[in-house]
Amino acid sequence: MGFAEVFVATHDEALKRAGALERGAGVSGDAVRIPGITDFEVEQLGDLAGTAVHAAGADYELAMVDVTSDSLLGVPAAMVRALAELLTYESEGEANVLEEVADSWAKQEDMPFGSEESREYVHRLAELATRAEGEDRAGLYVWSI
């Protein structure tokens, strides 16, 4: 079974981490590893987050960042912003936007987890996105197999 790992890094750090992951080596550092999903499901989350924070229609497609790794993809700035906003976005109702996005993500076709686990993943991804926004020269990356 494959997985997707999302992490904050500079470009060089991301390439090193991707190399280690491709070799099957253990890697350290703050990352969110989600078993049973691919980059496609991460893009779905970006679309859901963008819609929730009223930024639908932006480019939420992950992009290859280097020819040395087909598995390493960069998260576009619009998705990073949308994910980060989930932590503080206030809707007009009583609903928690982050929880709504997580619940919707869990209901996507073939998702290997339910709403409770999805909420944990989305919260951790939103925290990583916030960190990526605040660090100079760092970005949010996805590595998946």
> What's the domain range around 11?
3-144
Task: Please report the pLDDT score of residue 13 as a whole number.
Answer: 95
Task: Please report the pLDDT score of residue 94 as a whole number.
Answer: 61
CA dihedral 18, 137, 43, 53 (to 10 degrees): 150
| pLDDT tens digits for range 10-39 | 999 999 999 999 998 888 888 999 999 999
Tokens of 53: 């924070």
For the chain, how many structural domains are there in total?
1
Question: Model pTM?
Answer: 0.94
Task: Please report the pLDDT score of residue 93 as a whole number.
Answer: 66
In degrees and rounded to multiples of 5, residue 6 shows phi and psi of: -115, 135
- Using the predicted structure, report yes or no on whether residue 56 has a pLDDT greater than 80: yes
Mean pLDDT, rounded, of the chain: 94
Q: Could you give the C-alpha distances from 80 to 18, 25, 48, 113, 132, in angstroms and in order? A: 20, 27, 13, 23, 8
